[in-house]
């Protein structure tokens, strides 16, 4: 495994401001803070991709996210809404290859958006959607 900054934060070799930690996952703020209150939830045991996570760990991460969203709303920090974002793979924008779920507090008009590029405005037919659904379902 190549050097992993999130493993360093988990071990205490690098700084992180911890919000939560249990036997399976932890939540902290790293140095990249484009939003006040942005928290990352990571598995304690290194895993590069979502598919590598034991289901119990993936489930716990989402349970912690649910608690953090509620906590952010109660915290007094600016938070009118919350986005959860997980990039799985380089093409999806994953930059640190230790699974991490972003918890992003949002305020009205903050200008943050996940945008589709040109050519994504086409709406497929129901027949095409049914075919795609069957293809995905077949891979489950």
Residue 39: CB atoms within 10 A of its CB come to 27
Among 6, 24, 53, 64, binds Zn ion (CB under 5 A): 6
Q: Of these residues, 3, 98, 100, 102, which one is catalytic?
A: 100
**Minimum distance, C-beta of residue 46 to Zn ion, in the bound complex (Å):** 4
Taking the CA atoms of the chain, what radius of gyration do you get in angstroms?
Answer: 17
User: What distances in angstroms separate CA 97 from CA 3, 67, 80, 87, 111, one per listed residue?
Assistant: 10, 24, 30, 10, 27
Q: Which stretch binds Zn ion (CB under 5 A): 46-54, 65-73, 118-126, 127-135?
A: 46-54
Is 100 a known active-site residue? yes
Strand ranges (E), 8-113? 17-21, 25-29, 39-43, 81-85, 101-106
Q: Which stretch binds Zn ion (CB under 5 A): 15-23, 75-83, 90-98, 116-124?
A: 90-98
Name the one residue in this structure whose structure tokens are 């991490």: 100
**Minimum distance, C-beta of residue 8 to Zn ion, in the bound complex (Å):** 8
- Residue nearer to Zn ion on the CB measure, 7 or 84: 7
User: What distances in angstroms separate CA 65 from CA 48, 56, 72, 120, one per listed residue?
Assistant: 19, 14, 10, 30
Q: Which stretch binds Zn ion (CB under 5 A): 43-51, 64-72, 118-126, 127-135?
A: 43-51
Tell whether residue 98 is a contact of Zn ion (CB under 5 A): yes
Q: Is 11 helix (H, G, I), strand (E, B) or coil?
A: helix
Tell whether residue 7 is a contact of Zn ion (CB under 5 A): yes
Residue ranges in contact with Zn ion by CB under 5 A = 4, 6-7, 46, 98
Q: Which residues are catalytic?
A: 100
């Amino acid at each position: 495994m190549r050097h992993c900054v999130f493993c360093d934060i988990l071990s205490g070799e690098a700084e992180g401001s911890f919000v939560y930690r249990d036997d399976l996952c932890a939540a902290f703020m790293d140095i990249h803070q484009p939003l006040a209150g942005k928290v990352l939830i990571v598995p304690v045991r290194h895993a590069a991709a979502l598919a590598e996570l034991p289901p119990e760990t993936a489930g716990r991460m989402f349970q912690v996210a649910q608690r953090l969203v509620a906590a952010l709303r109660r915290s007094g920090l600016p938070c009118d809404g919350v986005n959860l974002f997980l990039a799985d793979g380089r093409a999806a924008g994953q930059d640190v290859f230790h699974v991490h779920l972003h918890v992003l507090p949002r305020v009205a008009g903050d200008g943050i958006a996940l945008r589709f590029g040109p050519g994504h405005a086409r709406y497929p037919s129901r027949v095409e959607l049914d075919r795609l659904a069957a293809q995905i379902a077949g891979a489950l």
